[in-house]
Amino acid sequence: MIKKKIYKFFKDKTEYDKLFFAGRANTLIWIISEYLKSKKNPTIILPSTLCVSPAVIFKNLGIKIIYVDIDYRTGLIREDLLIEKIKNFKIDAIFYVNLFGNVGKNSFLRYARKKGILLVQDLAQTFISYSKNKNKKFIFGDIIIISFGYSKIFDLNGGAILLAKNKNLYEKLKEIKLKKNSKNLDHVKNYYLHWYHNYFSCSRIINITHTKKFAKKLYVRPYNSKLDKKIFLSLKKLNKEELRRKKILSLYKKVFKNKKIKILNNDVSLLPWRFCFLVKKNRDKILKVLRDSKYDASSYYLALKNYKNSARLEDKIINLWLDNKINKRKIYGQYQIIKNLL
């Protein structure tokens, strides 16, 4: 019964009427990779700044990756460069990520659809709005991935869903069976973290030599039905959470108005994951002082390839949380620390 209510919620809000659940978003990306393998020499476009996980999976399953640089003002994939790749190369899929809760002009869509390119949209750092009309502004993928993992808007520490409209595509994805994941041993996790930080910095060359067996251990996780109720309760609270996050984001943008700070969140009408901005100097020192002062701050995401804008963003970005622990006093406290170090 709860699953039916979850289905109805997403159908009503997005018009995507095909849905299935997974233990985490990476499981869904693995399934999409297996689907792409049915094509001859499959090629996918990824933004050059991204969470490393999708790149690891695509690479391990033999999908050729073409990286495209980002727009330094938004963190999104640069549409002019994306259109150029679509026109000049055989592309089977585009992995489009709404990083930093931002939305592009989406001028590339008509070129991609004309060539029958599969559009996979990962709402990693934003989420659907309670308003159906607002969702139409930025949801366009043939496949939509939404994660309920750690530190996301709905922090359930697990769970993800895939949304689709095309029945044939949906059925083919559903047919792909993956073996259940064995336990992630601590030494495997530590090995992964070492790999992550040593091979996916823009200052290094990507060199994925690890086995498919290792990647599957790390990424494929079956769905736990105990999450049904948690997901449903979170969706019921979406309207309230949306209003709260918009209020906090607006306050952040007001307080952090400074010529030495470049704010990346370009649309307060969307539901963002974090408050994201760039500083001209002392980024690492600012992060250290923030953390020493008990403020949670992040420097992700890494540049997967050493493209100009990706490298600049990796070197200067700071992310601050928008969870319900954040209040006006803490925002001003964070700003004073940062201001003194700019």
Reported as half-sphere exposure (CB side, CA atoms, 13 A), residue 171 has a value of 3
Q: CB–CB of 243/130 below 8 Å?
A: no
Closest to 273 measured CA to CA, from 330, 320, 331: 320
Triad 80, 83, 268: Cα angle to 5°: 55
Q: Tell me how far apart the alpha carbons of residues 144 and 161 are, in angstroms, rounded to a whole number.
A: 8
Q: Tell me how far apart the alpha carbons of residues 136 and 139 are, in angstroms, rounded to a whole number.
A: 6
The whole-number average pLDDT for the span 109-131 is 92
Most confident of 260-269, 286-295, 316-325: 286-295
- Three-state SS at 77: strand
How many other β-carbons are positioned within 10 Å of the β-carbon of residue 221?
Answer: 21
Give, as one character, the DSSP assignment of residue 100. G
What does the pLDDT read at residue 190?
65
- Domains annotated for the chain, with CATH where assigned, are 2-230 (3.40.640.10), 238-339 (3.90.1150.10)
What does the pLDDT read at residue 155?
73
What does the pLDDT read at residue 218?
64
C-alpha pair distances (Å), 251 with each of 107, 238, 264, 337, 340: 31, 20, 14, 17, 20
Q: What are phi and psi of 162, to 5 degrees?
A: -115, 135
What does the pLDDT read at residue 13?
92
What does the pLDDT read at residue 191?
61
pLDDT band, residue 291 (cuts 50/70/90) = very high
Q: Can you give the pTM of this predicted structure?
A: 0.91
Diameter of the chain measured on Cα atoms: 57
**The amino acid at 135:** N
The answer to whether the Cα torsion of 259, 263, 264, 268 is positive or negative is negative
For residue 200, pLDDT over 50 is answered with: yes
Any bridge partners for residue 120, and if so which? 95, 143
Closest to 148 measured CA to CA, from 223, 216, 242, 98: 223
Q: CB–CB of 22/57 below 8 Å?
A: no
Q: Tell me how far apart the alpha carbons of residues 271 and 269 are, in angstroms, rounded to a whole number.
A: 7
Q: Picking from 64-68, 113-117, 239-243, which range would have the lowest pLDDT averaged per residue?
A: 239-243
- Three-state SS at 155: coil
Q: Picking from 47-61, 211-225, 263-277, which range would have the lowest pLDDT averaged per residue?
A: 211-225
pLDDT band, residue 215 (cuts 50/70/90) = low
Question: Could you tell me the strand order of the sheet in which 64-68 lies?
Answer: 18-22, 160-164, 143-147, 118-122, 93-97, 43-47, 64-68
Average pLDDT, the chain: 87
Q: Tell me how far apart the alpha carbons of residues 287 and 144 are, in angstroms, rounded to a whole number.
A: 33
For residue 181, pLDDT over 50 is answered with: no
For residue 340, pLDDT over 90 is answered with: yes
Tokens, residue 263: 């704010």
What does the pLDDT read at residue 201?
57
Percent of the chain with pLDDT over 90: 57
Q: Which residue has the tokens 């050493």?
A: 306
What does the pLDDT read at residue 184?
47
The whole-number average pLDDT for the span 250-279 is 90
What does the pLDDT read at residue 332?
97
Q: CB–CB of 32/120 below 8 Å?
A: yes
N- to C-terminal Cα distance for the chain? 53
- Three-state SS at 232: helix
With residues binned 3-state (H G I as helix, E B as strand, rest as coil), the percentages for the chain, rounded to 5, are: 45, 15, 40
